[in-house]
Amino acid sequence: MRYLARLTELELIDRERRMVERRIKAAKFPAVKSLDSFDFKAIPSLNKMMVLELARCEWIERKENVIALGPSGTGKTHVALRLGLAACQKGLPVAFVTAAALVHEMMEARDEKRLLQLQRKLAKVKLLIIDELGFVPLSKTGAELLFELISQRYERGSTLITSNLPFEEWTETFGTERLTGALLDRLTHQVNILEMNGESYRLNQSRARLAAANK
């Protein structure tokens, strides 16, 4: 009996592992990142305890949002990927996409008259990660489509956004103060903000490798 119980336990563990792998694949992460490999000391402004608390995924159950702000190279995407991985491991469906790719996909879907289908698909995701918001300005139509999606997810699902721009500069991306204000009103109603200001994490790593190679 003990042997059969152990076999059943192993089968359940294997089934759960395969389900996690399927959720990770469906999320379309560009890479699978772990917080174990993140150097929190390199970004002193980042609240480590908040990140570890967010990794428990209770904020997703509460349908809250996360916004990671900071210059390029400070690890915003790394943290976003780790939180996405944690959500997959908790059994939650996740989708990862850059802001530019998401807007392009929605505009393409609108032209092909399947926008409603795409919106419904994205609305079902427990955690939507939108990376690199602010790297490129959005067209008027693109900004409106992104606003519509975030409005649909408001208090229905969690959205994690990374941006290299402070809030006061988001108008440069969305074009009008009215649209930007309405968007931020929804996003920041229940939000956890990760401040990630500092020198480029990637640049510092490159410098360290060069220094080691030149010794």
Q: Which of 73, 15, 41, 76 is nearest to 206 (CA)?
A: 73
Give the domain extent around 113.
Answer: 44-210
Q: Region 183-205: what's the mean pLDDT?
A: 81
Task: Give the closest residue to 41 by CA, choosing from 212, 208, 178, 193.
Answer: 208
Encode pLDDT of 55-97 as tens digits: 999 999 999 999 999 998 889 999 999 999 999 999 999 999 9
Nearest CA to 88 among 17, 163, 145?
Answer: 17
Note whether residue 5 is domain-resident.
no
**Is residue 13 pLDDT above 70, yes or no?**
no
Residue type, 45: S
Task: Report d(CA 102, CA 158) in Å as an integer.
Answer: 16
In a domain, residue 39? The reply is: no
**Does residue 201 belong to any structural domain of this protein?**
yes
Query: How many residues are listed for the chain in this entry?
Result: 215
pLDDT above 70: residue 201: no
- The pLDDT tens digits of the residues spanning 102-145 come to 999 999 999 999 999 999 999 889 999 999 999 988 999 999 99
Looking at the domain assignment, is residue 26 inside a domain? Answer: no
- Looking at every residue in the chain, the average pLDDT score rounds to 88
Structural domain total, the chain? 1
Here the CATH number for the domain that contains residue 168 is 3.40.50.300
**Per-residue pLDDT, 203:** 53
d(CA 10, CA 62): 32
| pTM, full prediction | 0.87
User: Is the alpha carbon torsion for 166, 172, 173, 175 positive or negative?
Assistant: positive
**% residues pLDDT > 70 (the chain):** 86
The H or E element that residue 161 is part of is strand 158-163
